[in-house]
Amino acid sequence: MEFRWSKAEKKIAKQAFDLAYKRKCQKIIEQIKKRKLSNNEDIWTLGDYIHKKRKEIDRKFDYRYSQLILVFSTFIKENLLSLEDLAGLNNEKIDTINKILKL
């Protein structure tokens, strides 16, 4: 999907992306804090969890403009963003996101 991104839209996109990252990290931190760490094995389970989350973030947080509409759609599906967070993107982009969300 190739869209043109205006300067104003790029700013909105960057803010939304950073917000999604912040929320994602917050969720991870909550999950980590819930862990009891009572057995030795819990250390390595926690390490594996963080490793998995790092790989997930590397994969999902792709800030290429060619990917961004798909990326934002995924964030919305995962409750990391709402459409309101993307207010200011042009209709074509919002429509495309809405179509992806209905898939």
Chain residues in the site for a second copy (CB under 8 A):
21-22, 25, 28-29, 32-33, 37, 40, 42-44, 46-47, 50-51, 53-54
Output 7 or 36, the one with its CB closest to a second copy: 36
Shortest Å distance, C-beta 32 to a second copy: 6
CA distance 28 to 73: 20
Shortest Å distance, C-beta 8 to a second copy: 26
Shortest Å distance, C-beta 75 to a second copy: 16
Output 4 or 34, the one with its CB closest to a second copy: 34
User: CB–CB of 25/50 below 8 Å?
Assistant: no
Residue 22's nearest CA partner among 59, 61, 56 is 61
User: Tokens 């389970």 label which residue?
Assistant: 45
Output 8 or 57, the one with its CB closest to a second copy: 57
The set of residues, in sequence order, having a beta carbon less than 8 Å from that of 93 and lying 6+ positions away, is 3, 9, 69, 86
